[in-house]
Amino acid sequence: MKPITLPVSSSGLLLLGAILAASPTQAQNSARPNLEGIWTNASLTSLNRPEGVNALVVSPEEARVIAAATPIAGIEGGLDETDAVNDTPSASADDFGVRAYNNFWVDPGSNLALVKGEFRTSYVVDPVSGRVPRREDPQYDFERKNFGSRYATGVGDARGPEAIPLAERCLLGFGNKAGPGMMGALYNNTYQFVQTPDYVVILVEMAHDARIIPVFDSRDEALANRRPVALEQWFGDSVGWYENQELVIETTNINPIQMGQSSVPITRAGRITERFSRYSESEIFYKFTVEDSNIYLQPWTAELSFYATGDGLYEYACHEGNYAMPGILAGARRLEAEAAARVGN
């Protein structure tokens, strides 16, 4: 559930100070957009276009109709509206796992994504179908896991701590919040962008994930400064440069464990290219292109926008990894012991 949030003011300053202290001496051209500030990408639009919706761009009235019918957290009928009608199921109900939230805990936005003045029905813009062109026979070089079933049923692998999903262990946020391929989710859709002459930092509200991206004078120089392949970092090996009033970030070699739980996976052979530009004083236009023939039939592109927010960035006090995981593991050991006892009898 959404954590209790407390205002903080020192995290960004400490992070910025560390970056400045370690900053290399590359100079940047003057064509860089100013992306600094606190932004949100909250919306009810998803990566893929809903079934039965054909157009990418819809009118404001059509957008309201689609938004009203959009399931929150994939739940048809919506969450408990605190309207004296209890939509939350009983503990024994089949849908208890997917209805663990009520509306108090979620903040996904109330409208479809507004991108350059247009209401969008999907983040995916290419292919025109608005759907990720996955191969039917993907050639993964990492293990894919379906955590949707775990979320819905509460039944999952609990052999040990490493079997618990990254978000449940409070290691990374869920919903591809930090990307690469940064998208909105149920809550904590706030970001802080910090630019120095040599780095860009994207601090994500959820799980206080931070992407620290070195920026170079050109694409060639950036690609010449790749990190060792053996590192396999969270969020991958990202390098950036400025061109045509855009910040361009190219990422490869994302940790395979993260990719096994990502909605935008790539293998070691793939790459994700992100582009950020200022569309207006209050809007950052963001697009990313995913290329990996091991998983997808073709390169594909998604677009969304970040909007300036007057709200601050709050601490994400994730504690599930401290409290929930011991209970999950203890419960699994208890079930194993009971099963062994039945076999013994």
Q: Is the dihedral of CA 173, 142, 134, 127 positive or negative?
A: positive
Can you give the pLDDT at residue 89? 57
Question: Is 4 a member of any domain?
Answer: no
- And the tokens for 199? 């780095």
Q: Which residue has the higher pLDDT, 76 or 48?
A: 48
Q: Are 317 and 4 in contact (CB under 8 A)?
A: yes
Question: Is 227 a member of any domain?
Answer: yes
Question: Is 34 a member of any domain?
Answer: yes
Can you give the pLDDT at residue 250? 98
Can you give the pLDDT at residue 143? 64
List for the chain the helix, strand, coil content (%; round to 5).
20, 25, 55
For the segment 201-219, the average pLDDT, to the nearest whole number, is: 95
Let me know the angle formed at the C-alpha of 108 by 104 and 187, rounded to the nearest 5 degrees. Answer: 70
- Cis amide prior to 127 (ω within 30 degrees): yes
Question: Is 79 a member of any domain?
Answer: no
Q: What ranges make up the beta strands (E) of 219-270?
A: 237-243, 246-252
Count: domains in the chain = 1
Question: Is 224 a member of any domain?
Answer: yes
Question: Is 5 a member of any domain?
Answer: no
Can you give the pLDDT at residue 18? 41
Can you give the pLDDT at residue 291? 98
Question: Is 90 a member of any domain?
Answer: no
Q: Are 191 and 204 in contact (CB under 8 A)?
A: yes
pLDDT tier for residue 4 given thresholds of 50, 70 and 90 = very low
Question: Is 26 a member of any domain?
Answer: yes
Can you give the pLDDT at residue 157? 83
For the segment 303-322, the average pLDDT, to the nearest whole number, is: 86
Can you give the pLDDT at residue 138? 78
23-50 b/e (C-beta count within 10 Å ≥ 16 → b): eeebebeeebbebeebbbbbbbbbbbbe
Q: Which residue has the higher pLDDT, 150 or 301?
A: 301
For the segment 65-75, the average pLDDT, to the nearest whole number, is: 77
Can you give the pLDDT at residue 114? 97
- And the tokens for 185? 């989710």
For the segment 231-238, the average pLDDT, to the nearest whole number, is: 96
Measured CA to CA, the distance from residue 78 to residue 106 in angstroms comes to: 11
What does the mean pLDDT of the chain come to? Answer: 84
Reported as a single tens digit per residue, the pLDDT across 156-206 is 788 898 888 888 888 898 889 999 999 998 889 999 999 999 999 999 999
Can you give the pLDDT at residue 245? 95
For the segment 104-131, the average pLDDT, to the nearest whole number, is: 93
Let me know the angle formed at the C-alpha of 122 by 119 and 128, rounded to the nearest 5 degrees. Answer: 105
Can you give the pLDDT at residue 317? 83
Residue 145 domain boundaries: 11-72+108-344
